[in-house]
Amino acid sequence: MRQAFLLIAAFLLSCSRGEKEENVVVVYVSEDRVFSEPILKDFERETGIKVKAIYDTEESKSTGLMNRLIAEKEHPRADVYWANEPIRAEVLKQKGLLQPYISPNAGGIPEQFRDPEGYWTGFSARARVLIVNRSVEEKPHSIMDYVNPKWKGRAVIANPLFGTTTVHMAVLFTLWGNEKAKDFLNRMKENQVKISSSNGESADLVASGQFDFALVDNDDAISRMRRGEPVEMVFPDQGEGEMGVLLLPNAVMLIKGAPHPENGRKLVDYLLSKETERKLAFADCAQIPLHSGVDMPPELEDISRLKTVEVNYGEVARKLEEIQPILRKWVGY
Amino acid sequence: MDRRILPAIILLILFFIGLLPLSTLLFSPLLKGGSWGIYMEAFTTRNSLNLLGRSIVLSTSVSLLAGAVGTPLGLLLSRTDLPARRLFAAIFTIPLLIPPYANAIAWFDILHKAGLSGILFGFPGVVFVLTFSFYPIVMLLSMAHSRAIESHLEEAALLHAPWFTVIGKITLPLMKFSILLGMALVFLLSMGEIGVPTFLRYPVYPVEILSHFSAFYDFHRAAASSIPLLLIALLLMIPLAGGMDSTPITMKGTSLRIPIEGKWRSILLTIIATGAFLVLLPYAALLHSMGTGNPGEVLQIAGDSLLRSIALAGTGATIITALGSIMGYVIARRFPMSGWIQAIVLLLFALPGAVMGVGIIGLWNRPITEWFYASPLIILMGYVARYIVLGVVASTAGIAMIPSSLEEAATLHGAGTARILTGILMPLTGRFLIAGWFLSFVFCFRDFDTTFLLQPAGWDTLPVLLFTYMANGEPRTVAGIAGIMALSSLTVAAAGLITTGFLRQWRT
């Protein structure tokens, strides 16, 4: 018994030593761990800077790292935040948590994917695409197909209260205005659209033939295609007069008052490099590089050949909060 | 020593580890000149009331079913002469050791393979998965209490009636407290559960709290939204606390064995074996997935997290058991202010982990306390704050069995409170303390909410690793991590049952 207590006392003492190392960088990561961890390990190996990371869960499963960042505002523990979309970056900027930093590697990234004041910078984007079962003869080509009676009861979409589907809805409300967007939602419901718990589940439901198509992230579609499942990927709304495909880049930012700002900047530079974008393009997340001239797998389209939605991310971040009651009512919560 | 000193010290500890972080978060809108409006919203908006009603119906259904499954199982596995009872008890405990969300995934996977995953969605599916996850609580409490019933009561009744009637009229009424306590704990855990209802698409009240966090990052509103959960917890648990020391039970552990003979033996064995098969089915599928993957690779990914989980849960459970035994003594012996202690530990248990986590960050993340906040000690404090009730319940039940005359005699010979606790009560309540340690270990080991918010960078535990890998991780790796959780939990369950069983035999 005495030995057990001594062991516990030794454990507690070792715990209380805390973080004293200097050559470290602390990063909070909302990009999926399986894709982000190899990049961070490469950074550690190449620079000798030890990376201490905390990874996020899917948004529907926990309150997430954003809450932790905000709760730690008065005395930040993180140096860098790697967000999986720029709306979170805008929220943090509006709450005064970020330190502006314009990385030398940000130059080749189109302006629409960067904060003009340097509070955050985008890289490696996900596209919001339609995943379509191969057995469907005439493919849907627009998100308006969700309200087309031809697809009544045949389409599925992830719960819009969580993840990239929430952001997509906020973009639609920003572009169309509340009335048109609400009408779109109501018509979707009339068209018996099924709500799934996540983009991944939507993709599985389409792959298994239970539904014809779904709006998902391109990595959800490409991972099923690489597994040999009978699905295809369609970049929606590429025609004349259509809105274009929505791109959601990763976003990296420095935290104001970070304990290791110098190492934080080095990590930001590394994440914004062409080499990181190349790795993320060839990984299973299959993200589209924002720099020009980066190698990519054949399933991806070069950003210059895509018609994309013009988004003001700051406006979308504000809209996101406003439309929560509408979305909750629509889902039935 | 003044009988008010010990409770005062305990209240001070509870104030620092739980009440202070909570109240900082809960009342800061008022301190900053806000209004009572955000507190009233939780009780007045139609949507909130609707969700609250759904949650109450769901939790009531789950706790009734958990009672219906857990009580007979507890009796069968602790008091009858059926073979392999300890093995079956270990198997039936496994679902409690796995996070409910992982249980939902396991059932979804197996039903999906059979093309039946659709039946899992909605109210019936949520009730099924939560009952599956929580019935072991009622079972374990029933097992502990049914063994401690004074044998002479049943012996006297057996002179006039068969076992079936004795169980209905004597045994079960004497176990009433444990059964109700178990069902109440199940009710509270179901009320606070969010992962399973979200996954199975059944809207419940905690979504209200989560949406304040995830959509608005509004901590104060999230904390205010937890008030109905706290009130329900208090309304439910305080009356139960009064019944803690009213049951005639023995400390000798000489309960009667219920003989099962004839066709009933085969029928009951078949039912138990089928139940055990159903419990093992989803985990067997997970382990199979791990086997078809690369176990070495999974172990390399999860090894460090597993060690951290064991170290943190073991240390947390030891602190909870030590502190809980002192609190249990104060409650069982009705010291002044013991009602407050009961109320506070229940309230901290009923509080959503994320609310407690954010409160702790707000209070302890300061330059002066960096040595503490930036270390795993902060996780341990979160565990103690949330799960201290488990140590308290186990210890109170144990101490209530011991006649206070023993302490009075010790006091006459000059023994102080510390000597009475360590020299008399702790040795005599060993089985209860070990059961409490085991239960606390389980809850710390599978904790996700508190650990996720409080972990220092590089200190993730097995559940945190599992949840972060669920986001697009290779299905075999995810199954492998869940399999390691299931295996390590099974080992702990077996060790706990063997230890308590060994102690019981040694004492008799």
Task: Judge contact between A69 and A17, C-beta under 8 A.
Answer: no
B185-212 tens-digit pLDDT? 899 889 888 778 877 878 888 877 777 7
Supply the pLDDT for residue B446: 86
Long-range contact list for B265-271, CB < 8 A, 24+ apart?
A: B265/B82, B268/B76, B268/B80, B268/B82, B269/B82, B269/B83
Domains contained in chain B, number: 1
pLDDT at B251: 47
A232-246, B114-128, B203-217, B441-455: which is most confident: A232-246
Cβ atoms of A314 and A144 within 8 Å: the answer is no
Q: Considering only CA atoms, give the Rg of chain B.
A: 23
- The pLDDT of residue B32: 60
Helix (H/G/I), strand (E/B), else coil: B249: strand
pLDDT of B51 > 90? The answer is: no
More confident residue, B1 or B477: B477
Average pLDDT over residues B17-35: 73
B211: nearest CB among A61, A70, A328? A328
With CA atoms as reference, report the closest residue to B224 among B20, B48, B451, B12. B48
> What is the spatial distance between Cα A161 and Cα A183, in angstroms, rounded to a whole number?
18
Task: Name residue, tokens 């906040």.
Answer: B373
d(CA B394, CA B316): 15
Among the partner-chain residues B210, B374, B473, the one whose CB lies closest to the CB of A77 is: B374
Instruction: Please indicate whether, in this complex, the C-beta atoms of B471 and A57 are within 8 angstroms of each other.
Output: yes
Q: Report the C-alpha gap between A164 and B342 in whole angstroms.
A: 44
B-chain residues within 8 Å CB-CB of A4? 318
Name the residue range of residue B351's domain: 5-507
Selected for mutation to probe chain B from A6, A14, A15 (highest B CB count within 10 Å) is A15
Structural domains in chain A, CATH included, are: 21-125+247-303 (3.40.190.10), 126-246+320-331 (3.40.190.10)
Confidence of residue B380 (pLDDT cuts 50, 70, 90): very high
pLDDT single digits (tens) A77-127: 999 999 988 988 998 998 999 999 999 999 989 998 999 999 999 999 999
Q: How far is A34 from chain B (nearest CA, A)?
A: 6
Check residue B418 and give its pLDDT: 80
Written in H, E and C, the secondary structure of chain A is CHHHHHHHHHHHHHHCCCCCCCCEEEEEECCCHHHHHHHHHHHHHHHCCEEEEEECCCHHHCCHHHHHHHHCCCCCCCCEEEECCHHHHHHHHHCCCEECCCCHHHCCCCHHHECCCCCCEEEEEEEEEEEEECCCCCCCCCHHHHHCHHHCCCEEEECCCCHHHHHHHHHHHHHHCHHHHHHHHHHHHHCCCEEECCHHHHHHHHHCCCCCEEEEEHHHHHHHHHCCCCEEEECCCCCCCCCCECEEEEEEEEECCCCCHHHHHHHHHHHCCHHHHHHHHHCCCCCECCCCCCCCCCCCCCHHHCCECCCCHHHHHHHHHHCHHHHHHHHCC
Quick one: pLDDT band at residue B334, thresholds 50, 70, 90? confident
Nearest-CA distance from A63 to chain B in Å? 6
pLDDT at residue A162 in the model: 79
What is the overall mean pLDDT for chain B? 82
Q: What is the pLDDT of residue B248?
A: 46
Percent of all residues in chain A with a pLDDT value above 70, rounded to a whole number: 91
Residue B254's pLDDT band, with cuts at 50, 70 and 90, is low
- As given in the structure block, the two tokens for residue B324 are 């809980």
| Model confidence at A16: pLDDT above 70 | no
Q: Which of B 466-505 lie inside 8 A of A, CB atoms?
A: 467-474
Q: Return the top range by mean pLDDT from A164-168, A212-216, B470-474.
A: A212-216
- pLDDT at position B500 over 70: no
- Residue A17 predicted with pLDDT over 60: no
CATH number at residue B75: 1.10.3720.10
